[in-house]
Amino acid sequence: NAGVTQTPKFQVLKTGQSMTLQCAQDMNHEYMSWYRQDPGMGLRLIHYSVGAGITDQGEVPNGYNVSRSTTEDFPLRLLSAAPSQTSVYFCASSPHRGGTYEQYFGPGTRLTVT
Amino acid sequence: AQSVAQPEDQVNVAEGNPLTVKCTYSVSGNPYLFWYVQYPNRGLQFLLKYITGDNLVKGSYGFEAEFNKSQTSFHLKKPSALVSDSALYFCAVRDMRTGANNLFFGTGTRLTVIP
C-alpha cells in the first residue's frame, strides 16, 4: 500500500512552459485535492474532486487545470507557468463519505519557475 | 468566512517540558478541526481531529488538543516534549460549505524542542 504518490519530486520550468504534476493513490479514496504551500501562508486549496469525472475549484485555481478520469489519479496541469507558481505542491486524498475526514498527503513536488 | 489562525510563527520549548501550540478558529456552526504535522521535506501527517464529543482529543505521538467553544480555540498540547517533536505544525478547519473534505489551513507554527 503506497498511499499517495507524487511525481516529480522537483521540477524547474521556464516562464511560459507547461507541465503536469502527477498524483496517484491506492486507497480507493473518492476525494482528492491539490494544495500549494507558500512560506507564511500555510496550504491553500487549488482544485479538488469528489469522484471520477467530478472536479471543482478551490481557493486559488487560476493557472491550473485538473481532470479525474479514474479514482486513482488526479493530475494537476500548469498551462503556462509563471514565477508566482513557484511553490511546493501537495496532493491529498480521503474517503468522501463515512465520517472519516482526515486526509492523507503525498510527499510533495517542489516547483521553481524562472 | 471560515478560517483558522495560528498566532505564533515559532515556539521554542526545552526537552521534557510541556508544550502548547495555539490555534483559534472562525466558522459558522460546529467546526471540524484538525492538527497536522510536517517534518522537513515531507508531506503533512494527520495528528488528531475534533468532530464532536469530548473536548479533550487524544492523537498520535502523545499529542492532545483541547476544544474550547467559548474561546473558539483548539490548542495542541503535549505533557513532555521530545527533540523529535521539532517540526512545522498546522491547524486546519473543514470547509462546511461544500460537503467535500476541503480544509482551510493556518499559516503554521514551527516548534523547536531544545535538548
A100 pLDDT higher than 80: no
Q: Are strands A10-13 and A109-113 parallel, antiparallel or unpaired?
A: parallel
Are B105 and A43 inside 8 Å of each other by CB?
Answer: yes
> B78, B105 in Cβ contact below 8 A?
no
- B46-53's contacts with Cβ under 8 Å and 24+ in sequence apart are B46/A102, B46/A103, B46/A104, B47/B76, B47/B89, B48/B76, B49/A101, B49/A102, B50/B74, B51/A99, B51/A101
Record: contact A4-B43, CB cut-off 8 A: yes
Distance from CA of B53 to the nearest CA of A (A): 14
pLDDT at A38: 94
Best to test chain A binding among B101, B102, B110 (most A CBs inside 10 Å): B101
Contacts of A44 in chain B (CB under 8 A): 105
> ω before A8 within 30° of 0 (cis)?
yes
The answer for residues whose C-beta is within 8 angstroms of residue A7's C-beta and 6 or more apart is A21, A22, A109
pLDDT at res. B56? 96
pLDDT single digits (tens) A70-93: 999 999 999 999 999 999 999 999
Q: What is the DSSP string of B98-111?
A: TSS--EEE---EEE
| Nine cell digits for residue B5 | 489562525
Among all residues of chain B, which has the CA nearest to that of A32? Answer: B101
For residue B13 the three cell numbers come to 520549548
Cell of B29: 456552526
pLDDT of res. A2: 81
pLDDT tens sequence across B5-46: 999 999 999 999 999 999 999 988 889 999 999 998 888 999
Question: In this complex, is the C-beta atom of B89 within 8 Å of any C-beta atom belonging to chain A?
Answer: no
Strands B19-21 and B73-78: antiparallel
pLDDT average, residue stretch A104-108: 95
pLDDT at A40: 86
Measured between CB atoms, does A39 come within 8 Å of chain B? no
Nearest CA in chain B to A106: B43
Q: Which of B25, B46, B103 to mutate to test the interface with A (most CBs of A within 10 A)?
A: B103
pLDDT (tens digit per residue) in A6-59 = 999 999 999 999 999 999 999 999 999 999 999 888 999 999 999 999 999 999
Amino acid at A32: M
Phi then psi for A113, rounded to 5 degrees? Answer: -115, 120
Chain-chain contact of A44 with B105 (C-beta, under 8 angstroms): yes
The count of other CB atoms within 10 Å of the CB of residue B57 is 21
Distance (Å) of CA B73 to CA A36, A88, B2, B31: 25, 28, 14, 11
